[in-house]
Amino acid sequence: MRNIKLLIQYDGTRYNGWQSQEHTEQTIQGKLTKVLERMLGEEIDLQGSGRTDAGVHAAGQTANFRTRSEVSCEEILDYVNRYLPEDIAVSEVTEADLRFHSRLHACRKTYVYRIWNSAIPNVFERKYMYQVKEPLYVEQMRQAADLLEGTHDFRAFCANGRTKKSTVRTLEQIKIERRERELSLHFTGNGFLYHMVRILTGTLLEVGMGKRDPEEMTHILASLDRKEAGPMAPAQGLCLWNVVYKD
C-alpha cells in the first residue's frame, strides 16, 4: 500500500466547490477522483486539506490517497494533467508516509483575498477579484486586522451558527498589501471556520469604507453573534494559497 500526495491548483469559477456531491459532477474532488480511478483501475478515496466553496480558487490545495498500484509519481502527474479539465492542474505528485493525512496533519493555511479597488472594472481578472468602487481606508483596515489576530472564539465570523464543534481558532496573521488599485488580504491560521475568511473580509471592508470603527472588532468577537459581523464577501476573490505541514 502506498500513500500519494498531490499539490493541486484550480480555477473554481465553474465548480460547486472542492467536495464531491451526489447531485453534480462539477466538483474538483469529483473530477480528480474520476481521472485517478480510470488510470489506476481501483476505487480512490481522495482526501483534501479542506473544502473550498463554490467559486473559490486554489493555488496550493493538498490532497492524498492510498493505492496498491505501482505506477510511478511521474506517470500519475503526466496522466492526470493530460485528462483533467484545463482549469484544474496537479503541480506535484510525491509519495508520503502511510500515516499522512492532508486534512488532519495540516498545521497552517494561508488564504488570499484579492480586491480591485477602482470604479473602472478589471476586465481580464474579473473572475479572480472582487471589485470595490469606493475608496478604502487601508490603515484603518490594518488596525482592525491587528485586533483579530491571535487565538479567539470566531463564532461571530462563522456562517454555520448551529455548529457544536469548537469555534476557537488561532489567526496568526492578517497582512494587507496595496499595489496601485489592487488590495490583497492574506489570512494565515491553524484552521478556518465555514465562510470565515469571506466574513472577515466583508467586515474589514466595512471598516475600510468608514462604516465601522476598527475598535468594533473586539466587540464582534466577544458577541459570538454572526449578526454583529459584516457581510460575506463574494467567492471569486478568494484563493487557498498554501497548506503547511509539520516535518
The label of the residue with cell 488532519 reads: 104
> CA 23, 26, 10, 205 torsion: positive or negative?
negative
CA 223 to CA 217: how far, in whole Å?
10
- Separation of alpha carbons 104 and 48, rounded Å: 10
Please count the other Cβ atoms lying within 10 Å of the Cβ belonging to residue 244. 14
Which residues form the catalytic set? 53
In Å, what is the CA distance from 64 to each residue of 33, 47, 119, 133, 175?
A: 11, 5, 43, 41, 29
DSSP-derived pairing of the beta strands 57-67 and 2-10: antiparallel
Q: Give the C-alpha separation, 157 to 49, whole Å.
A: 21
Q: Of 211, 200, 6, which is closest to residue 90 (Cα–Cα)?
A: 6
Q: What letter does residue 159 receive in the DSSP assignment?
A: S
Total number of residues shown for the chain: 247
